[in-house]
Amino acid sequence: VAKKESGETALNNFVRDVDLSSVTSVTGFKFYGWAGAAKLDNVVIEYVTEETPDTPEEPGEIEVTIYEENFDGKTKEDLVSQGYTLKDNDSRIEIADNKMVAKTSEGGTGFVFNFLSAAANGQVRVKYDLKLYNNSFDVNRLLLKTDAGDIPLIFFGAYGSISQDYDTGSWTATLNKVEGVNYGTYWYNVDLLLDFDNNTITVNMENLDEGTMAISDLVWNYDLSSINTIKGLDTYGWTHGDVEDTGYDNILIEYASEDPTISSDRIKIYSGEDVQKHSSVNPGSDKIVIDFAGVLKASTLKNAVTIKNVTDDADVTYTAEVKGSKYIITLSEGLAASKQYKITVSGDVENIFGVKLGAEYTLNFATNAGYIKVNGIKLTQNGSEVTSFAGLAQGQEAKVTVSYDKTSNDEKKIKLIYAYYNGTELVKSVVKTITIGAGDNGGTKEDTVTVENLTGITGVSVMLWEDFTSIKPLCQDIKL
């Protein structure tokens, strides 16, 4: 702590022992001042780290199993101490024959656990055994607890309206309701595959008593993009009439994965937000994303991907992170112009189940000579921006300001065109050349022009083209 006015040190490396072991996320900042003169300014909360290395460090592994519970040998009290919350009418819940039983006759009950902190990457499978009864009376629903709130996954049963929640009184989102299946009084295995890359939920439901499938590969489109962390599950069952109990068993939440695979279309090179063609990558591009399809075992990526500047026989350094099936590479420096590059991927890359890619893969790509990116063009007259034809004065000087970035090492000449129209007919035009020097990597250029006589003119456009050969526009025209 230092006094801001004098720079005098009030506290120097004072250390206080605080148990932070239970903290999993930082959610905010709270300041309280009792005196009227208390003030606060320049609040910064940031991670403190050593300098970023040029090569990727070994990242942590994803545990395949996120959560598993089969209730074997457990009591209701064990579940409460474990972190379960038992819902309304919890006196109806008991552990019988190593299964959780909810005695829901003429009422409802269920349970919640909300103590997980698993990354929502790639694919996640949620499985559990569920005992349902005649669906004329029985209702059961399952919610996924996440950092983005409660995500409704599935709704069984036909009694009442789907807009009705027998627990809270209203749904906050439309549930995925299964229609047209007469479930009967059986134990089922419910299998939900959440695909966070493709925003889908795939449902399979097996009748465990009869060995038949009640639902096979039913796919729902569902926006899962806001979810970063899986926290737990929330289930609720409600019955009407003199019916038997609802049961739960063998809860399993785990990462799922396809076998790893790779091809040229699974390697994307980015210039800003734009995906580049491998045959002509813009220099300065500094991000590469390799999607292996399967959720990756992170440790197998260490030193498994090399990038080489073949033209100069030089290794390209980078940092990287594993996110689900994707290996996201950030280059230490942007790619150079007019170079040949090669990406080599080891066949020892594995998914979380230990399945290897199998064979080494190589992708060759090339950078182009560079480009000019125009960030903006503005027309002014007498110090004010002109945004309409009525605001343009004939016979007076106007100024065009162009802001740009350039990645090429050679001189570029671009064309600035002032076009005068009567309706859609081009009446006259003025063409200027703007020269951007070889060592100029970006900035602004200005051009001045005297506005022509506007008699018989209904509109004016200001255009910026790369040249008259490609007739490639470099930015959106100014149309007055």
Q: Is residue 444's pLDDT more than 80?
A: yes
| Interval 95-111: pLDDT, tens | 888 888 876 555 667 78
41 vs 68, more confident = 68
From CA 342, how far away is CA 5, in angstroms rounded?
A: 55
Mean pLDDT of 73-85: 88
Mean pLDDT of 436-446: 85
Q: Is residue 253's pLDDT more than 80?
A: yes
Beta bridge partners of 280: 277
Q: How much is the pLDDT for 165?
A: 41
| Interval 358-381: pLDDT, tens | 999 999 999 988 778 888 899 999
Confidence of residue 35 (pLDDT cuts 50, 70, 90): low
Q: Is residue 303's pLDDT more than 60?
A: yes
> b/e for 107-127, b at 16 or more Cβ within 10 A?
ebbbbbbeebebbbbbbbbbb
Q: Mean pLDDT across the chain, nearest whole number?
A: 83
From CA 44, how far away is CA 33, in angstroms rounded?
A: 18
Least confident of 52-61, 143-152, 273-282: 52-61
Q: Reading across the β-sheet that carries 397-406, which strands appear in turn?
A: 384-385, 372-381, 397-406, 442-450
Task: Name the range with the highest mean pLDDT among 72-76, 85-89, 305-309, 321-325.
Answer: 305-309
| Interval 409-418: pLDDT, tens | 678 888 999 9
From CA 282, how far away is CA 285, in angstroms rounded?
A: 6
Q: Is residue 125's pLDDT more than 70?
A: yes
Using the structure block, give the residue that is written with the tokens 């033209």: 311
Q: Is residue 21's pLDDT more than 90?
A: no
Task: Name the range with the highest mean pLDDT among 83-87, 310-314, 323-327, 439-443.
Answer: 310-314
Cα–Cα distances (Å) from 215 to 179, 182, 192, 198, 313, in that order, read 10, 11, 11, 21, 56
Confidence of residue 353 (pLDDT cuts 50, 70, 90): confident
| Interval 155-183: pLDDT, tens | 765 444 433 343 443 333 344 455 555 55
